[in-house]
Amino acid sequence: MAQFTISVINGDGIGPEVMVEGLKVLHTLGAKCGHTFATSNYLAGGAALDATGVPLPDATVKGVKDSHALLFGAIGGPKWENVAHHLKPEAGLLKLRKELDAWANLRPAMVYDELIDASSLKPEVLRGTDIMVLRELTGGIYFGQPRGIEGTGPQRKGFNTEVYHEFEIERIVRMAFVIARGRRSKVCSVDKANVLESSQVWREVAIRVGKEFPDVALSHMYVDNAAMQLIRDPRQFDVIVTGNIFGDILSDESSQLTGSIGMLASASVGGPVGFFEPIHGSAPDIAGQQKANPLAMIGTLALLLRYGLKLEPEAQLIERTIRQVLKDGLRTGDIKQPGCRILNTREMGEAAVERLKAL
Ligand code: NAD
């Protein structure tokens, strides 16, 4: 039994709709397990710009830093597409990630048997797929110096620098091993060590850290092969750990294995306060219509409980709730299947609450 302070940022578009359902489930869990989740709402994105003139008010940064974890909806939308770059909702999101110093991005991609037909891959390839992609988030080519555009005419060039320090590699690889211990005890480190020096260092550090975890099997794969293997035989993977740009691409690829963006959650951790959000955006095309699937947000709660608050049994309760809803043939429009009942956002949230109470 414990008391936790959770920062809540609804954001824009479907963000507020899915958040309402996520919070219903969180409070139901609190009542069931004897925890108190005290929530504080903060502004970010377009909603913050409209209300305060900036996409990330100082009060949001301070409030989030004073909490145990951040639950985030989604930001952005056509209304703010033409504002100055530094005022864009996305600029607020990037700044918040930086403020929280979240150097590890976790993206689970799990294929539920009930939704196996939702993917474009064959069921026999997908069945049983359960991958955790761990992407380094604050280093690599997206942040390396020097970078820029120089010159004129045919000699004009754009350039970036892929750079990794040992400490950056060591901490994320170590996290991968720790996470693998709670799963199937396999880590695949993805790099391009046959071509890039930064990857050569990455691989050396991965091998060194791996010696601390003799109970976990470590393998290495070049990124081009990993992209292919994810589609050919995704079940071979348990935890994948990789750098920023490779992780950006592979985590999107692995999420597509599961079929719907409305089911997937992510966590950005490493700093003092973890940042937990569905992988989808603000979905302006369906916003305000109660069409959004809240299960990505509810799945996000499981990550917040597991990695943000270290409440493993509670995280598993949330995962069982999602499985039960699907087993009972309940679907939102994005995952509709013949013979299943289609629910709106609120109805799906309420169905999850009822299943959770009954577990
Ligand atoms: P999106 O994820 O918002 O939507 C892509 C498609 O998936 C849309 O057809 C949408 O209706 C559908 N979809 C998304 N979530 C769904 C859900 N929960 N249930 C059912 N269907 C769902 O991506 P986009 O259209 O490229 O971007 C829209 C806006 O969101 C943009 O302004 C973008 O910058 C922003 N965005 C924000 C984040 C974030 O807040 N972390 C992430 C991605 C995009």
Evaluate: CB of 252 within 6 angstroms of ligand 1: no
What's residue 118's pLDDT? 81
- The CATH-assigned architecture of domain 130-257 is 3-Layer(aba) Sandwich (3.40)
What's residue 340's pLDDT? 95
Question: Is the pLDDT score of 201 beyond 90?
Answer: yes
- Looking at every residue in the chain, the average pLDDT score rounds to 96
Compute the distance from residue 235 Cα to the ligand 1 centre, in Å: 27
Region(s) of the chain under CATH 3.40.718.10: 1-108+258-359, 130-257
Query: Among 130, 142, 222, 328, which one carries the catalytic annotation?
Result: 142
Looking at residues 59-71, what average pLDDT do you find? Answer: 98
Evaluate: CB of 92 within 6 angstroms of ligand 1: no
Looking at residues 64-93, what average pLDDT do you find? Answer: 96
Evaluate: CB of 281 within 6 angstroms of ligand 1: yes
Evaluate: CB of 255 within 6 angstroms of ligand 1: no
Evaluate: CB of 81 within 6 angstroms of ligand 1: no
Is 222 labeled as catalytic in the residue annotation?
no
pLDDT band of 178, cuts 50, 70, 90: very high
Question: Is the pLDDT score of 258 beyond 90?
Answer: no
Looking at residues 187-208, what average pLDDT do you find? Answer: 98
Compute the distance from residue 311 Cα to the ligand 1 centre, in Å: 29
What's residue 243's pLDDT? 98
What's residue 98's pLDDT? 85
| Model confidence, pTM | 0.94
Looking at residues 159-168, what average pLDDT do you find? Answer: 98
Q: Whose CA is nearest to atom 6 of ligand 1?
A: 283
What's residue 68's pLDDT? 98
Q: Whose CA is nearest to atom 20 of ligand 1?
A: 292
What's residue 97's pLDDT? 86
Question: Is the pLDDT score of 154 beyond 80?
Answer: yes
Compute the distance from residue 290 Cα to the ligand 1 centre, in Å: 15
Question: Is the pLDDT score of 255 beyond 90?
Answer: no
Is 233 labeled as catalytic in the residue annotation?
no
Is 112 labeled as catalytic in the residue annotation?
no
Query: Among 192, 238, 307, 334, which one carries the catalytic annotation?
Result: 192
Instruction: Please state which CATH class domain 1-108+258-359 belongs to.
Output: alpha beta
Question: Is the pLDDT score of 259 beyond 80?
Answer: no
Phi-psi bin for 111: left (phi > 0), alpha (psi -120 to 50), beta? Answer: beta
Evaluate: CB of 292 within 6 angstroms of ligand 1: yes
